[in-house]
Amino acid sequence: MERNTEIELRLLIEAIYLKYSYDFRDYSGASIKRRVNHALSQLECNTISALQEKVLHDPGAFMQLLQLLTIPVSEMFRDPPYFLALRQQVVPLLKTWPSIKVWIAGCSTGEEVYSMAILLREEGLLDRAIIYATDINPRSLDKARQGIFSMANVRAYTHNYQQAGGQRSFADYYTAAYDYAIFDKSLCDNVTFADHSLATDSVFSETQLILCRNVLIYFNKKLQDRAFGLFHESLCHRGFLGLGSKETLDFSAYGNQFEPLVKHERIYRKS
């Protein structure tokens, strides 16, 4: 029975790639399996084969499945010591460039984009920065563009911001309306939101800083190395790469082409 399930899962992932060009073939098997099993009940299918038939013939059902396969989990200034390290260790070096480009890969619903924009504004860099915010999930990108987040989360965001070295009142950056916080649109004046897949797409610009946090944990080693290759190619000489707390360049194909800048916060510099 287990063998049949594995076959069905592989056929589903291959079918998604052939039909919709979304490539999950080198994502972590355990992660994909867990999310597909959850999708079975959500899309009212008894088997993975039934799910495959449904998403092949119904693009709406595929979009539902895509949301479940790319569950966005994010918060503003997530892991405050990481953002404090960016502010203290990376920003002074970024200031030595006349202009900077930042790539936030796997930006999800935009919390990290707004966090970075706020940090850059406070450090006097936002006006000469271009931020590329990319993801494979079009609904997440739409939400990121809107910059509207639940007020229920803002208290936690405010605490994170303060712990990350925030210099103002966090409330200066948003307007409260009913149960939502609407963030200052000018934060995204220099932000380009774009569909981009680390599994299938290529490098699109030379950058000084790349943030890709809590994305690579869902990839197998082959796909992780592909992503590291894109980052290495995109970064300028001595550019910076920030990863998530459970991610590392150690033992990757590119481990010797970066050096740790703030190792315990997973911030690296291109050698």
Sign of CA dihedral 104, 107, 113, 115: negative
pLDDT in tens, the chain (271 residues): 477 888 999 999 999 999 999 999 999 888 899 999 999 999 999 999 999 999 999 999 999 999 899 876 789 999 999 999 999 999 999 999 999 999 999 999 999 999 999 999 999 999 999 999 999 999 999 999 999 999 999 999 999 999 999 999 999 999 999 999 999 999 999 999 999 999 999 987 899 999 999 999 999 999 999 999 999 999 999 999 999 999 999 889 999 999 999 999 999 999 9
Q: Which residues are paired to 105 by β-bridges? A: 134
| Distance, CA of 138 to CA of 40 (rounded, Å) | 22
Q: What totals of helices (H) and strands (E) does the chain contain, helices first?
A: 10, 10
Please report, to the nearest 10 degrees, the dihedral formed by the alpha carbons of residues 203, 209, 215, 216 taken in order. Answer: 70
**Which DSSP category does 256 fall into?**
G
For the chain, give every domain's residue range. Answer: 2-69, 80-270
Cα-based torsion angle of the residue sequence 16, 21, 22, 27 in order, rounded to the nearest 10 degrees? 80
Q: Output the CA–CA distances (angstroms, integers) from residue 170 to 123, 125, 160, 161, 176, in the order listed.
A: 15, 18, 10, 7, 12
pLDDT of residue 198: 95
* Cβ atoms within 10 Å of 226's Cβ, excluding its own: 16
Q: Could you tell me the sign of the dihedral formed by the alpha carbons of 48, 54, 57, 60, in that order?
A: negative
Helices (H), the chain: 2-20, 29-42, 48-57, 59-69, 80-85, 91-94, 111-122, 138-146, 151-163, 221-234
What pTM was computed for the model? 0.92
pLDDT at residue 3 in the model: 77
DSSP 8-state assignment for residue 148: E
CATH of domain 80-270: 3.40.50.150
